[in-house]
Amino acid sequence: MRRPFALSKPAQAGLEPQRSAPRGPLRLRPGKAGSAAPTCNTEKAYKSCAVALPAGLIRAMQDNPTQVPLWRQLQGAASLLMAVRDGQSMTAALEDVDAALRPGVQSLGFHALRWLGRAEALRQQLAKRPPPPEADALLCVALALAWNEADAPYTPYVLVDQAVEAAKRSEATTHQASFINGCLRRFLRERDELVAITDKSPQAVWNHPQWWIDRVRKDHPDSWQAILRANNNRASLILRINERKTTPGQYLRGLAAMNIEAYPVGEYGVVLVNAQPIPSLPGFAEGHFSVQDAAAQLAAPLLVKGLAPMHGRGRLNILDACAAPGGKTAHLLELVDADVTALDIDARRCERIGHNLQRLGLQAHIVVGDAGQPDGWWDGMLFDAILLDAPCTASGIVRRHPDVRWLRRPTDIAQLAALQAQLLDTLWPLLKPGGRLVYCTCSVFRAEGDVQIQTFVAHHTDAILMPSPGHLLPQNGVASPASPTLPDNLAGEHDGFYYALLEKRNA
């Protein structure tokens, strides 16, 4: 992958144009007298910088290695955008970014990917012929961050100033610096007119590729706009409380004692009003919680609650067929005493299952294997219950992974649906008569949800579709009369998911 902007060693000599003298990192002006200058390396912190900074002012000041100048973070965000345009996930691309730069680059990169549709449409207005890819990425990042002043992490003037600085400081873009400057200054002068022109493009308005908009509209004619709107919001940090160690009520009281604002969601969930570094939360090392979206927290109870009467017959034998990194495996083990086989095709991700279970004080039989080829790992014992959290387009978790919509191709849906169907067909015979299977995907596309399951049930006369949540659509915040929940959705905040509970007829 091209790396136009050096990100792994921030201060490395020779990576910046020699014509400009090395400058110290930027320090933002203190907000209130005596308060320390904010360091802009968390999503929350960089937002607060916008408040502390007088409009249009930013100063390059003394050396302070703990602070990362904004121009460098913009270079990082542009590199991430180039990686995504090259087909790499943002999570993978971030691994190449120096640890000191990563939080700031991630925040700006996330923001830019949320508003990329608008930014690309604006760029087309400003330059009919796109500039070289490196300059285009930097320009689009600056436009994505600055186009909506109310939501911009810094004032548009600061962003423009620093984007031009970023262009000057990289060999890949230095010859485009005055072009970028011209485009962005014009954008500042004519913002309202330019934004109004781009309002004619659905891709700019909804910030998703056109095919994605069309597909969501076809699949959810009554709620497509709410889904797309929700996708462009930030998702809250949600914890699942480990009921083997504590309860949501107790945990919430502990947070309140530390002045950490939080509220309950669902049976096991706690929503943090402001995101916090996970290891600093109480009870992390002791395994009191896991990070898991509220919709994902439905899987384990849906599978095991109906199986409770079978407890008397000894321990349940459960297969978690696509288990890594083990979020739902852990929840199963928190709810029931069971022998759980945690299977995943990806050996590296299987290691993460082990680490996660260890922290939570839980144990499973972790197996690296292909769920579609049981001969390689199955001992012939039928399972009481199977969880198939199948590989999917991830179209329901766009709030948390804003790159997904730009990485997917329309053909992915059919390909993944075919893989899901094959996994369902292969695993169904491994289930005992009377046993239960939960099929789920973190997708809003019907081909990976109810269409998949209707087809399955039509071809398997021993499969009974039990009462199930079906399609849960992504939404933000607690429901209120002003922002009602989507029909049939859980109240409150969660990602998009699909759930079906199937029971195998007794012969």
Q: Which residue, 69 or 396, is less far from ligand SAM as judged by CB? A: 396
Is 171 near ligand SAM (CB under 6 A)?
no
**Phi, psi torsion values for 367, nearest 5 degrees:** -130, 130
Is 397 near ligand SAM (CB under 6 A)?
no
Q: Which residue, 141 or 407, is less far from ligand SAM as judged by CB? A: 407
Is 424 near ligand SAM (CB under 6 A)?
no
Q: Which residues pair with 383 in a beta bridge?
A: 431
- Answer for the pair 137, 79: CB distance below 8 angstroms, yes or no: yes
- Two tokens at 192? 């309202």
Total number of residues binding ligand SAM (CB under 6 A)? 17
Least distance between ligand SAM and beta carbon 379 (Å): 17
What gap in Å lies between CA 45 and CA 209, rounded to an integer? Answer: 30
Least distance between ligand SAM and beta carbon 391 (Å): 4
Q: Which residue, 286 or 346, is less far from ligand SAM as judged by CB? A: 346
Looking at residue 217, the DSSP 8-state letter turns out to be: H
Least distance between ligand SAM and beta carbon 113 (Å): 20
- The 10 Å Cβ neighbour count of residue 375 is 7
Q: Which residues pair with 483 in a beta bridge?
A: 480
Q: Which of 389, 403, 448, 503 binds ligand SAM (CB under 6 A)?
A: 389
Q: Which residue, 228 or 350, is less far from ligand SAM as judged by CB? A: 350
Whose CA is closest to 218, among 395, 408, 402, 446? 446
Q: Which residue, 82 or 392, is less far from ligand SAM as judged by CB? A: 392
Site for ligand SAM in 315-334 (CB under 6 A): 322-328
Q: Which of 372, 421, 460, 465 binds ligand SAM (CB under 6 A)?
A: 372
Whose CA is closest to 428, among 505, 370, 376? 505
Least distance between ligand SAM and beta carbon 356 (Å): 8
What gap in Å lies between CA 187 and CA 414, rounded to an integer? Answer: 40
Is 371 near ligand SAM (CB under 6 A)?
yes
Residue bearing tokens 């971030």: 94
- The 10 Å Cβ neighbour count of residue 53 is 21
Is 370 near ligand SAM (CB under 6 A)?
yes
Is 298 near ligand SAM (CB under 6 A)?
no
Please tell me whether the peptide bond between 202 and the residue prior to it is cis, using omega within 30 degrees of 0.
no
Whose CA is closest to 425, among 435, 414, 413, 437? 437
Q: Which residue, 83 or 364, is less far from ligand SAM as judged by CB? A: 364
Q: What is the DSSP string of 453-488?
A: HHHHHHH-TTEEE-S--EEE--B-S--BTTBPPPTT
Q: Which residue, 186 or 244, is less far from ligand SAM as judged by CB? A: 244
Is 412 near ligand SAM (CB under 6 A)?
no
What gap in Å lies between CA 283 and CA 286, rounded to an integer? Answer: 5
Is 16 near ligand SAM (CB under 6 A)?
no
Is 460 near ligand SAM (CB under 6 A)?
no
Residue bearing tokens 């087309």: 124
Catalytic residue numbers? 442
Q: Which of 391, 412, 451, 457 binds ligand SAM (CB under 6 A)?
A: 391
Is 269 near ligand SAM (CB under 6 A)?
no
Is 374 near ligand SAM (CB under 6 A)?
no
Least distance between ligand SAM and beta carbon 408 (Å): 15
Q: Which H, E and C letters describe 241-299, residue by residue?
A: ECCCCCCHHHHHHHHHHCCCCEEEECCCEEEECCCCCHHHCCCCCCCCEEECCCCHHHH
Site for ligand SAM in 333-352 (CB under 6 A): 343-346, 349
Q: Applying CB under 6 A, which part among 15-23, 369-377, 427-435, 468-476 lies near ligand SAM?
A: 369-377
| Interface residue list for ligand SAM (CB under 6 A) | 322-328, 343-346, 349, 370-372, 389, 391
